[in-house]
Structure 1
Amino acid sequence: MSEAQKADPGLYDFVPYRNRSKIVWPGGKKVAIWVAPNLEYYEIDPPANPHRKSWTKPHPDVVGYAHRDHSNRVSHWRMADAMSKYGFPGSVSLSVALCQHHPEVVKDANERGWEFFSHGIYNTRYTYGMDEAQERAIIEDSIRTVRDATGQTIRGWLAPALTHTPRTLDLIAEYGLDYTCDLYHDDQPQPVKVQSGKLISIPYSLEVNDHYGFFVYNMSPREYADTLIRQYERLAEEGETSGTVMCIPLHAYLIGQPHRIGPFAEVLRHIAEDGRAWIARAGEIADHYYDHHYAEAAHGA
């Protein structure tokens, strides 16, 4: 075995896009659309992680904290109302500490019929450097806290600030979670190799994440909206051959600003009226894939 082959972590097998078995979504829809609002809590002066700073500025970062707190005070409702108007449920990437800090936000999302999965405890506490006991405690805390606050049992995982250890995927599968959003390698669900249980990846997105759109690519609200529509149109077109998945990851303090929400709402209207989209929650996509496509994909992998 070559050194390059040894470096492959073996999380999933290589299956070329053009040679896969066809995925068929409910009602013959071409693309499964799910919206992933990140409902987060950031600490103003978090404990230091030696592997990565929580804030780029010295702590306490009043500006960074207050900017993000706009989500929980104002822009969550602006974003959520636009989603509800056009029939888009949320699949929430939740900093589970929000259940204690701002239960009103979690209650509102739950009453709208949104699904919750874990984004760690705080988005300012990273998995880097954790031992197994610490990582297990975060998973157990996430399951317990969300269940107590919402009555839901989380099924998915998006690591806090996208930080991992080599054991993360094995652990979440061991605890009964059945999808991860932490792999950005595909535009369709895929089986993930774990030591026990079953796990699939559901396509999340960095490319059309509003954080990347506004902070990395410096897009205007109109440019970001156009990007979402172009993403949708291409995936819907390719979905004629085999069903695709489009995720729209959001942060309310970005997309819910007054000057951005209008173009975004136009995107939701465009997709809702188009007719090719299955507008779903992440768990519904996972259920359909497990019921109709997982066995064949896992056997062929």
Structure 2
Amino acid sequence: MTDTTSPPAAAEPRPVPSHERFDYSGIRQRPAGRWPNGSRLAVYLALNIEHFAFADGPGACIGLPLPHPDVLNHSWRDYGNRVGAWRCLDLFDSLALPAAALINTSLYAHAPELVAACVARGDELVAHGHTNSERQGGMARDEESRLIAHCRDEMREKSGAAPAGWLSPWISESLHTPDLMAEHGYRYTLNWCHDDQPTRLRTTHGPLWSIPYPQELNDIPMIVGRHLDAKDFAQMIVDNFDEMREQAATQPLVMGIALHPYLVGQPYRLRHLRRALQHLVASRDDGDVWFTTPGAICDAADAMGEMFPKAMP
């Protein structure tokens, strides 16, 4: 006897969860244009100046992580604040390059003269949490809200201006982080690495700009994660710059370079970084490259209206 029973209908695939912060937008479908100053490619240096707790919490490692107190890895990271950051600032001075200093607010107690040196240079201060020994993604909403507000208030009190931008320690977000940033008056985030142009994020307190921040052109994943040599990282900067300069022939693009002074501030790595940055500044008089800060890019994005991808309605 033939079985004529139909097989059960396959279940419909469930919708793929989305962050719902912005729509998809392909780069080739966007308008042509330039930055307001007439340049094509905006380049900024993000100098991550971080402070780590002793004998507590996570941190990047030069050797195998050891049981706390992990003197080897803690002291290696502190070299960045005692020596490496100062050498980086000297390099930036020698090339007349602006920078964004992404600071933990615990530096106001640990190394206040280092923060003051960034302010004296005219660098933009970007909020980077209180310490890189904690991750905000696991915090309760109220605790995270207090952290974001604390960093704003501390930086305004100690350095004279509230920060416009935020980068989470370890790029660790909760589902509420963009909403809390907008609620507390921040204008942009560096947490997202999804694009080469600014994107407006939808939040419960109005739009928040996402300014492109690199996870490839970043010394931690390249040197610590992939064990590249300093000369390879420097060549990455050169190659990325040359390629993006060509790609920016018709569209305004953003190239960030993420640096950590306990890495690139080591003398032999600094020598290679110097070579890469000298290559970049050799183009300064050509007019198509803008050496700037993420806050200035945010201001320009505001002025450019509908050119960049919008948040979802």
| Alignment TM-score, normalising by the size of structure 2 | 0.89
Task: State the shift of 1:2 in Å.
Answer: 5.2
In structure 1, the residue corresponding to 2:80 is in which secondary structure?
helix
Quote the residue 1:193 is aligned against.
Answer: 202
Deviations 1:16-60 (A, max 9, x none): 11001224113321210010000100011226xxxxx55743222
Q: 2:34 aligns with which of 2, 6, 24?
A: 24
- Whether 1:3 and 2:24 are equivalent positions in the alignment is no
Task: State the shift of 1:88 in Å.
Answer: 1.5
Task: State the shift of 1:219 in Å.
Answer: 1.6
CA contact (8 A) 1:115 1:281 kept: yes
- Name the amino acid aligned to 1:76: A
- Whether 1:283 and 2:292 are equivalent positions in the alignment is no
CA contact (8 A) 2:207 2:311 kept: no
Task: State the shift of 1:158 in Å.
Answer: 0.7
What is the Cα-based RMSD across aligned positions, in Å?
Answer: 1.8
CA contact (8 A) 1:191 1:294 kept: no
* CA distance, structure 2, for counterparts of residue 294 and residue 65 of structure 1: 46
* CA distance, structure 2, for counterparts of residue 22 and residue 295 of structure 1: 8
- Whether 1:61 and 2:70 are equivalent positions in the alignment is yes
Q: 1:57 and 1:299, CA in 2 relative to 1: closer, same or farther beyond 3 A?
A: closer
- Whether 1:35 and 2:79 are equivalent positions in the alignment is no
Q: 2:222 aligns with which of 213, 218, 237?
A: 213
Deviations 1:240-261 (A, max 9, x none): 1101100001001111111011
- Name the amino acid aligned to 2:292: A
Identity over the aligned pairs, expressed in percent? Answer: 29
* CA distance, structure 2, for counterparts of residue 199 and residue 66 of structure 1: 37
Task: State the shift of 1:129 in Å.
Answer: 2.5
* CA distance, structure 1, for counterparts of residue 45 and residue 230 of structure 2: 17
Q: 1:209 and 1:296, CA in 2 relative to 1: closer, same or farther beyond 3 A?
A: closer
Task: State the shift of 1:130 in Å.
Answer: 1.3
* CA distance, structure 2, for counterparts of residue 296 and residue 114 of structure 1: 26
Deviations 1:168-205 (A, max 9, x none): 01110111111110001001111111111221111101
- Whether 1:234 and 2:235 are equivalent positions in the alignment is no
Q: 2:176 aligns with which of 162, 167, 190?
A: 167
- Name the amino acid aligned to 2:153: R
- Whether 1:113 and 2:122 are equivalent positions in the alignment is yes
Bigger helix fraction: 1
- Name the amino acid aligned to 1:40: E
**Pairs within 5 Å for 1:118-133:** 118-133=127-142
CA contact (8 A) 1:95 1:119 kept: yes
Q: 1:58 and 1:296, CA in 2 relative to 1: closer, same or farther beyond 3 A?
A: closer
CA contact (8 A) 1:32 1:246 kept: yes
Quote the residue 2:6 is aligned against.
Answer: none
* CA distance, structure 2, for counterparts of residue 240 and residue 90 of structure 1: 24
Figure out how many residues of one structure are paired with residues of the other and give that number: 295
* CA distance, structure 2, for counterparts of residue 127 and residue 199 of structure 1: 19
In structure 1, the residue corresponding to 2:181 is in which secondary structure?
helix
Q: 2:111 aligns with which of 102, 105, 113?
A: 102
Provide structure 2 residue ranges, at least 5 long, that are not aligned to the other structure: 1-11
Quote the residue 1:180 is aligned against.
Answer: 189
CA contact (8 A) 2:201 2:311 kept: no
- Name the amino acid aligned to 1:32: A
Task: State the shift of 1:294 in Å.
Answer: 4.7
CA contact (8 A) 1:210 1:251 kept: yes
Quote the residue 2:9 is aligned against.
Answer: none
Q: Structure 1 residues 227-236 or 211-220, which shifts more?
A: 211-220
Provide structure 1 residue ranges, at least 5 long, that are not aligned to the other structure: 48-52
| Alignment TM-score, normalising by the size of structure 1 | 0.93
Moved segments of 4+, more than 6 Å = none
Quote the residue 2:265 is aligned against.
Answer: 256
Task: State the shift of 1:4 in Å.
Answer: 3.6
Deviations 1:86-131 (A, max 9, x none): 1221112111111111101101111011111111100001113211
